[in-house]
Amino acid sequence: MTDGVLNLSDLAYHWPGRSGFSLAVPRLEIAKGESILLLGESGSGKSTLLSLICGTILPDRGSITIAGTDITTLSGGARDRFRAEQIGVIFQQFNLLPFGTVSDNILLPLRFAPKRRKRAGDASAQAMALATALGLPKGVLGTKATSLSVGQQQRVAVARALIGQPPLIILDEPTSALDANSQAAFLDLLFAQTEAHQTSLLMVSHDSRLGKRFDRVIRIEDIAQIERTTL
């Protein structure tokens, strides 16, 4: 086994009771500090793969090793805790709790991850520093998350994923709700942060134009076998 941040081997999964969708990934490895763009059309099993990596679903067989721990051996609660400690997650959009402040949202994962909270040190100062580094306006921390623009909200989501420096960040089409200029700015800010902290990055998208900024670009059909039998 290498010292990769993420190692998948011999992974197989099928949705229980659903119309025969199954996914098999013989091998996927992400090294420390490596950034990977995973390309795939919608419905290609990207989301299932992300759910497996995040530990919200368990594979039928195979192992998922993140930062040295095989999460398939953990209990449900322990996997949730592990995700909080080791993985930052950014969605397409609607990343933030609308009723919470920006600061509430950035600090939220620390609530479920005591070690990560310790790593973060002075969490409020960290949140402030991240917000500044990501170009969010001053004094934004106390405002309601919904008062921000979509681009700003995505940057808050980045700050939330980065706080406490988890080794792996997973992004699910984070730029699809942004226009081209904002996309570029978003990726600039994201890479500036992940490179500074040697954070590994796994981003899924259907947009191959983003590829040139990543260390590696993988098509999902190259690493995974997907079977779909309509019943």
Partner 1 sequence: MIMRLAIASLFARALTVGMTILAIALSVALFLGVEKVRTGAKASFADTISGTDLIFGARSGSVQLLLYSVFRIGNATNNVTWDSYQDIATRSEVEWIVPISLGDSHRQFRVMGTSQAFFEHYKYRQGRSLEVADGVIIDDLFDTVIGADVAATLGYVVGDPIIVAHGLASFAQHKDQPFRVSGILEKTGTPVDRTVIVSMEAIEAIHVDWQGGAQVQGQATPAGTIRAMELKPKAITAALVGVKSPLQTFRLQRAINEYGQEPLLAILPGVALQELWGIVGIAETALLAVSAMVVVTALIGMMATIFSSLNERRREMAIFRAMGARPATILSMLVLEAMLMAALGALLGLALLYVGLTLAQPILDSAFGLWLPIDPPSLREVWVMLGVIAAGAIVSMVPALRAYRMSLADGMMVKT
List C-alpha distances in Å: 86 to 28, 116, 131, 170, 213: 18, 8, 21, 11, 24
Instruction: Name every residue whose Cβ is closer than 8 Å to that of residue 66 and which is 6 or more positions away in sequence.
Output: 5, 6, 7, 53, 82, 86, 87, 167, 168
Query: Cβ of residue 144: shortest distance to partner 1, in angstroms?
Result: 9
* Cβ pair 45, 227 in contact under 8 A: no
Q: In the range 117-136, which residues lie near partner 1 by CB under 8 A?
A: none
Binding window for partner 1 (CB under 8 A); candidates: 20-28, 45-53, 195-203, 206-214: 45-53
Length in residues, the chain? 231
Q: In the range 47-76, which residues lie near partner 1 by CB under 8 A?
A: 47, 50-51, 54, 56-57, 76
- Per CB under 8 A, the list member of 10, 26, 61, 111 interacting with partner 1 is 111
Q: How far apart are the first and last CA of the chain?
A: 39
Q: Is 26 in the site for partner 1 (CB under 8 A)?
A: no
Tokens of 51: 């759910």
Binding window for partner 1 (CB under 8 A); candidates: 21-29, 44-52, 192-200, 217-225: 44-52
- Per CB under 8 A, the list member of 97, 129, 192, 196 interacting with partner 1 is 97
- Per CB under 8 A, the list member of 22, 29, 72, 81 interacting with partner 1 is 81
Tokens of 179: 């226009």
- Per CB under 8 A, the list member of 4, 45, 109, 174 interacting with partner 1 is 109
- Per CB under 8 A, the list member of 23, 36, 39, 84 interacting with partner 1 is 84
